[in-house]
Amino acid sequence: MKLLLPIFFVAISVVARAAEGADPEALFREGVEAFYAAKPKESVTAFDRLIVAAPEIKPRLWQRGLALYLAGDYQGGREQFELHQKVNAHDVENAAWHFVCVARAENVAAARKALIPIRGDARVPMKEVHALFAGTGSVEEVLKAAESGEGEELKDHRCYAHLYLGLYFEALGDVEQAKAHMLKAAKEFRMDHYMGTCAQVHVKVRGW
């Protein structure tokens, strides 16, 4: 998952300011900053105001989906990730977050049935993460795949692996395993990009 491109805001900001007197870039930053401060409900509020100012941006706001999940609005998160799939069809992370939203709103069986099929995400260890969530892979395969590269690249792979293992076990209701993996992503393999920060936010929101 990647941050929205600034050029996208150039295309919509003039219209949004004229229509609503709002600054979409400022609202986006407000949503991100609230999320980074472990305030997911406030983050959702800012992103919702952004959508009012610039409705066309909603499908791209996967950041809102993360905030909805941590705010406990699992149905809202599911809807956001389904909408995002229409503009980002090859992202395992979107399928994984959609899975955990469905699992928390309903159950794991329903989440597996609704799992979004993904092809073409070559990032490590996304293929193995998707297989795990589908019920055809294993934790061991995710961890093994993450042991590639060296230095910061290796650390990043491990961060992603433990982030999604944490989410997986949270979906299964295994709090201890979820906590152990999420703490590894947030601390031992800490990365300060958006998804690395998401792990840090996750442990703060959960009180881990």
pLDDT tens column, 172-205: 999 999 999 999 999 999 999 999 999 999 999 9
pTM above 0.85, yes or no: yes
pLDDT tens column, 12-31: 444 444 445 679 999 999 99
pLDDT tens column, 117-146: 999 999 999 999 999 999 999 999 999 999
b/e 141-168 (16+ beta carbons within 10 angstroms → b) = bbbebbeeeeeeeebbbbbbbbbbbbbb
150 vs 160: CA distance, rounded Å? 15
pLDDT of residue 1: 81
Amino acid code (one letter) for 185? A
Q: What count of other Cβ atoms lies within 10 Å of the Cβ of residue 51? A: 16
Confidence category of residue 49, pLDDT binned at 50, 70, 90: very high
pLDDT of residue 200: 98
pLDDT of residue 162: 99
16 and 27 Cβ atoms separated by less than 8 Å: no
How does DSSP classify residue 173? T
pLDDT tens column, 73-115: 999 999 999 999 999 999 999 999 999 999 999 999 999 999 9
